[in-house]
Chains A and B, each alone.
With several copies, the nearest count.
Chain A
């Protein structure tokens, strides 16, 4: 296993130490493994709390800061945080105006956040939750755990964070969060597996001439394994199911192309060069683009594409100032 690591059991604690050393604008609660803004929540501001398994950096801890999250609970690698962690985050950032939990749709995340919300409510904190389930690779059915939550989470945290920063109340913040969540679709492709440090070897073996289409951000195998294709063909494998899933003309949209951790930017750009014309052809009017490693899967080579249908309000909030370790502009 070729990683910058000491004892694999210490990965999370030690990564948090690095985050604290690098970013004076955030505060790491090492005991609870929670990343918070250095400044307490402004009175009256609704707080945004997210979290999930680690290994997806900069998500979520890297999105804590002005205009985005107030706190993020960091679980072990690929393991949802515990209710205690989420509760600690929630209590730490509630200014009295309530807290929005932003949850990605995985059984573990949903259950742990649910328990935390119950505990927080018992302590008198108003909590609303939004569950992101945007991965079109997964058949959405009442017979399954439903779609995974992926890239839409990043866009949601930015847009809804801006609204909370403006002083909107919890109901309005939660309502917008649900709108953004409903407006997003994602699709990922892996060229290699990732290696979970504690497991010590790749989660799956991919022959040199194959790739996983519809892979999850935890190295869950995808829906199909196919021959390694050109960037041009891969772009189609990503764009088509998203556009098809929208069903209706998309119109103005915010697009995120995220590397999965082991794919360098030059390849992401090359891939986006193939994606952009396909989106245009399909009637997606790309208003804003984010390219880079925003939601990763440890060292996996691959990329995920997210398209969020965006109205004027969302675009305005997207453009509002943000100052976090992972996303920053206007401040």
Chain B
């Protein structure tokens, strides 16, 4: 697939993200135990179960889908990740208008709008040891690879996200609950950067499969 991503593809992405979160639920909670409060896995799992329950009947367009996902996350997750992941999806929708298909550039622009929303809400900068450390490099990698089509862009973005996630390990957290730990937050992966990587890996796998 080099061209368009359909609404169905994106629904499949969201479902794949849900499955990935369930598969990694204990790991996310374990990471959050080390520098947080041991709820990131159950928060995300609860939220994505609620999201999946809203996907039947399937939304008519990507922007409808993202609106539903965002609103459901906001109203079912709570914690820091609820408003932040919720905002990510809520801001993706408007960037897409009412189209039922989207190309690599369009999806990239939507992701960028979403991440900008997260930054506006959470005020985190790259290097603060948050989900932004996975999301932000992923955007740049997406844009650089967009010309090669969405599957390739997603592959590059997922790889960049994973690198960004890994790079959170030595960092001292400056945002979120982990920042209370000061220097003791270094030496652990950020849970939100880990779940954000799952999000981009799920997109990679979905688009690769659809290709």
Q: Residues of A at under 8 Å CB distance from B?
A: 9, 53, 75-85, 106-108, 111-112, 114-115, 135, 137-139, 143-145, 148, 196, 198-199, 203-204, 216, 218-221, 223-224
- Residues of chain A with a CB closer than 8 A to B179's CB: 144-145
A75–B78 touching, CB < 8 Å: yes
B residues 61-102 in Cβ contact with A at 8 Å: 74-84
- Residues of chain A with a CB closer than 8 A to B29's CB: 196, 198-199
B residues 162-211 in Cβ contact with A at 8 Å: 174-177, 179-182, 184
- Residues of chain B with a CB closer than 8 A to A219's CB: 33, 37-38
A223–B122 touching, CB < 8 Å: no
7 closest A-B pairs by beta carbon, nearest first, are A218-B37, A111-B83, A108-B79, A108-B80, A107-B80, A144-B179, A198-B42
**Chain A residue with minimal CB distance to B179?**
A144
Please report the C-alpha to C-alpha distance between residue A105 and residue B75 in the assembled complex, in whole angstroms: 20
- Residues of chain A with a CB closer than 8 A to B175's CB: 107, 144-145
B residues 128-177 in Cβ contact with A at 8 Å: 174-177
Contacting B33 at CB < 8 Å: which of A106, A144, A204?
Answer: A204
Contacting B174 at CB < 8 Å: which of A78, A83, A143?
Answer: A143
Please report the C-alpha to C-alpha distance between residue A143 and residue B41 in the assembled complex, in whole angstroms: 26
B39 within 8 A of A: yes
- Residues of chain B with a CB closer than 8 A to A224's CB: 184
- Residues of chain A with a CB closer than 8 A to B79's CB: 53, 75-76, 79-80, 108, 112
A145–B176 touching, CB < 8 Å: yes
Tell me the minimal C-beta distance from B43 to chain A in angstroms: 6
Q: Can you give 17 A-B contacts (C-beta < 8 A)?
A: A78-B37, A79-B77, A79-B79, A79-B82, A83-B74, A106-B80, A107-B175, A111-B122, A114-B83, A137-B180, A144-B179, A145-B174, A196-B39, A220-B35, A220-B181, A221-B184, A223-B182
Tell me the minimal C-beta distance from A15 to chain B in angstroms: 16
Tell me the minimal C-beta distance from B181 to chain A in angstroms: 6
B24 within 8 A of A: no
Q: Given A108-B83, A115-B83, A223 and B39 touching (CB < 8 A)?
A: no
- Residues of chain A with a CB closer than 8 A to B76's CB: 82
Q: A80-B79, A144-B180 are in contact. List 10 more A-B contacts (CB 8 A).
A: A79-B79, A84-B74, A111-B122, A112-B78, A112-B83, A138-B180, A196-B29, A198-B29, A218-B177, A219-B37
**Chain B residue with minimal CB distance to A146?**
B179
Contacting B38 at CB < 8 Å: which of A9, A135, A199?
Answer: A199
Contacting A196 at CB < 8 Å: which of B38, B75, B180?
Answer: B38
Q: Given A144-B175, A221-B184, A203 and B74 touching (CB < 8 A)?
A: no
Contacting B39 at CB < 8 Å: which of A76, A144, A204?
Answer: A76
- Residues of chain B with a CB closer than 8 A to A221's CB: 34-35, 181, 184
Q: Given A111-B83, A199-B39, A218-B37, A81 and B78 touching (CB < 8 A)?
A: yes
**Chain B residue with minimal CB distance to A214?**
B180
Of B74, B79, B83, B179, which is in contact with the most chain A CB atoms at under 10 Å from its CB?
A: B79
- Residues of chain A with a CB closer than 8 A to B177's CB: 106-107, 145, 216, 218, 220
B108 within 8 A of A: no
Tell me the minimal C-beta distance from A284 to chain B in angstroms: 25
A84–B38 touching, CB < 8 Å: no
Please report the C-alpha to C-alpha distance between residue A75 and residue B43 in the assembled complex, in whole angstroms: 11
Please report the C-alpha to C-alpha distance between residue A85 and residue B78 in the assembled complex, in whole angstroms: 10
A83–B75 touching, CB < 8 Å: yes
Q: Given A80-B78, A144-B174, A144-B179, A107 and B122 touching (CB < 8 A)?
A: yes
Please report the C-alpha to C-alpha distance between residue A106 and residue B179 in the assembled complex, in whole angstroms: 11
Tell me the minimal C-beta distance from B120 to chain A in angstroms: 11
**Chain A residue with minimal CB distance to B30?**
A199
B114 within 8 A of A: no
A112–B39 touching, CB < 8 Å: no
Please report the C-alpha to C-alpha distance between residue A139 and residue B184 in the assembled complex, in whole angstroms: 13
Tell me the minimal C-beta distance from B88 to chain A in angstroms: 13
B180–A82 touching, CB < 8 Å: no
Of B35, B83, B122, B182, which is in contact with the most chain A CB atoms at under 10 Å from its CB?
A: B83
Please report the C-alpha to C-alpha distance between residue A82 and residue B86 in the assembled complex, in whole angstroms: 11
A82–B37 touching, CB < 8 Å: no
Please report the C-alpha to C-alpha distance between residue A207 and residue B184 in the assembled complex, in whole angstroms: 17
Taken residue by residue from 24 to 55, chain B's Cβ proximity to chain A (1 for < 8 Å, 0 otherwise) reads as 00000100011111110111001000000000
Please report the C-alpha to C-alpha distance between residue A284 and residue B209 in the assembled complex, in whole angstroms: 62
Contacting A78 at CB < 8 Å: which of B34, B38, B181, B182?
Answer: B38
Please report the C-alpha to C-alpha distance between residue A267 and residue B5 in the assembled complex, in whole angstroms: 48
- Residues of chain B with a CB closer than 8 A to A115's CB: 74, 83
Tell me the minimal C-beta distance from B115 to chain A in angstroms: 16
Of B38, B74, B181, which is in contact with the most chain A CB atoms at under 10 Å from its CB?
A: B38
Please report the C-alpha to C-alpha distance between residue A327 and residue B78 in the assembled complex, in whole angstroms: 27
A198–B39 touching, CB < 8 Å: yes
